[in-house]
Structure 1
């Protein structure tokens, strides 16, 4: 049995269709069947039930788990050998949510590429749960975001802390809060949020992490907000907020990416208390080989956000 045999089996098990698997591997279906037949012959068992729909046999299910481990071990071996030869020719894959990518990665990856131009970079975007799954299945080298809920095999290094704030465009301030404007301006860190209760809001769908703090705050204050617009994207919500449609409650860090796009247009930021703040970490698997490229990236992220290892 070879790693080519294992790779063919894993692709067939993923696709559950020999034709699609062969196309994905750029080989003929006959060649694919030959690879799987070699494994079945070596272990004296059938791995697939060939009658439609294609499925794994009990032996195939057991082999799948071990084959995935062997495949991961082979990938790690290759990375270690590349590191020993010349780490600058390696790869680095980073998982992050779409809304945080430009905020956290742009300055660091620009510098990283300048120093290590031969490292191939891949940014894998998805929801919080999707990037967590990608990390736990070793499909990415690191993630940048919340510490995963399943932290048994994960090392999380805190780089910064996200604070939840109300972002108020000037049109709302001048039309809805004019009587409080000068009371609010001197100290944006200590504000009675009940002053905003009758204002219009734009919000992020509460099924997404960025939308949950707004729901929590409304429940804490006991208010029913006037929501003008709801969206699934923080970026979209910010654009409508800055256009004057309503107040947006979200992690303050998201506004940073827009500061250079607003032509110094004034807006007002009022933080909630620290109860909804969350750590943002660089996360990686303890059991997975941490390549030189990965270690350099982690170091640059820590330095960029002036954090230190716990």
Structure 2
């Protein structure tokens, strides 16, 4: 069985239809349909249920699992050969959110590129939930993610700790009572979330870990937050808090790096909740030399910044 067959059928499963898979693979739909039919005849069972969207059958799920394993073994072999032959060179595919791409990797990459000109980085940007699924499927070498993470599927290195802060509408009674000034982070009084139970919140999308974190923090204080608006963009939530539409819980990294034109007021949260940022990779996946170099350089970069007490 050719590796091409594995990759084509994996793409069918990923896209859900033959037409989209054929377009992504730059092949004709009839030829892709014939390849799938030939594989199913050879196996003796259908790989997909034919509905509006192609859904893997029980046999299909097993096929896809084995196909990913075989492709990963082949890639591991070639990567190990590259390590022996080429040394500090190769490709590294990193999964991360757009926020981390902008505020973490962008400051690091110029020095990394100058030091390792033969290592090429490829970025895959998505939500943390989608990144974990792609990393587990072997679609990237490593990803920048957050704890908690499924330790049955991933190994990880801790990069740094990130404090969460409140971004409050400037007209909020808490801001008046504490004398908070929009945009000022020199003084961050601690505010219990319970004091905001009547306050509308700006919530991140459910595929982002900050979504569940806000709900859990409020639940621990004995209330369910009123949601004014849900967004995928922390920058949007930041700006909307400044515009008075609601309160947001945001990482200090973003607050420090990207203040909006009309900033909100800032306060610490009682209990000082934090997020742990990690570099994760699928378990049992071979770690090529280029990936190992990137890993060590990123860990060093994060450590150096933390020592300077600058938020990442």
TM-score, length-scaled by structure 2: 0.74
Confirm or deny: 8 A CA contact 2:90 2:119 kept in the other structure.
yes
Query: Equivalent residue for 2:120?
Result: 120
Cα distance, 1:282 vs. partner?
0.7
Q: Residue 287 of structure 2: SS of its match in structure 1?
A: coil
Deviations, residues 100-145 of structure 1 (Å, cap 9, x unaligned): 4323222223332333344332222222221111111111111112
Deviations, residues 1-25 of structure 1 (Å, cap 9, x unaligned): 3333443444455557666555543
Cα distance, 1:255 vs. partner?
0.9
Query: Equivalent residue for 2:239?
Result: 239
Instruction: Decide which of 259, 271, 274 is 1:273's aligned counterpart.
Output: 271
Confirm or deny: 8 A CA contact 2:228 2:246 kept in the other structure.
yes
**Superposition pairs of residues 123-272 of structure 1, within 5 angstroms:** 123-147=123-147, 149-168=149-168, 171-172=170-171, 177-181=175-179, 188=187, 191-193=190-192, 197=196, 202-205=201-204, 207=206, 208-222=208-222, 229-259=229-259, 267-272=265-270
Query: Equivalent residue for 1:85?
Result: 85
Cα distance, 1:288 vs. partner?
1.0
Compare 206-215 and 127-136 and name the one that shifted more.
Answer: 206-215
Confirm or deny: 8 A CA contact 1:102 1:257 kept in the other structure.
no
Cα distance, 1:92 vs. partner?
1.5
**Distance across 2 between alignment mates of 1:55 and 1:267:** 49
**Distance across 2 between alignment mates of 1:230 and 1:291:** 39
**Distance across 2 between alignment mates of 1:23 and 1:241:** 42
Q: Relative to 1, partners in 2 of residues 1:118 and 1:224: Cα closer, same or farther, differing over 3 Å? A: same
Instruction: Decide which of 303, 308, 311 is 1:306's aligned counterpart.
Output: 303
**Distance across 2 between alignment mates of 1:123 and 1:47:** 37
Which structure 1 segments of 5+ residues have no match? none
Q: CA RMSD in A?
A: 4.1
Confirm or deny: 8 A CA contact 2:190 2:267 kept in the other structure.
no
Cα distance, 1:89 vs. partner?
4.6
**Distance across 2 between alignment mates of 1:224 and 1:57:** 40
Q: How many residues align?
A: 298
Q: Residue 306 of structure 1: SS of its match in structure 2?
A: helix
Cα distance, 1:87 vs. partner?
4.8
Deviations, residues 50-80 of structure 1 (Å, cap 9, x unaligned): 9966787876654443222111111222222
Cα distance, 1:234 vs. partner?
1.5
Deviations, residues 191-227 of structure 1 (Å, cap 9, x unaligned): 3437964886551247343244444444444567776
Deviations, residues 266-287 of structure 1 (Å, cap 9, x unaligned): 953324314x323111111231
User: In terms of Rg, which structure is larger?
Assistant: 1
Q: Relative to 1, partners in 2 of residues 1:225 and 1:86: Cα closer, same or farther, differing over 3 Å? A: same
**Distance across 1 between alignment mates of 2:192 and 2:300:** 35
**Distance across 1 between alignment mates of 2:271 and 2:217:** 10
Q: Residue 303 of structure 2: SS of its match in structure 1?
A: coil
Q: Residue 250 of structure 1: SS of its match in structure 2?
A: strand
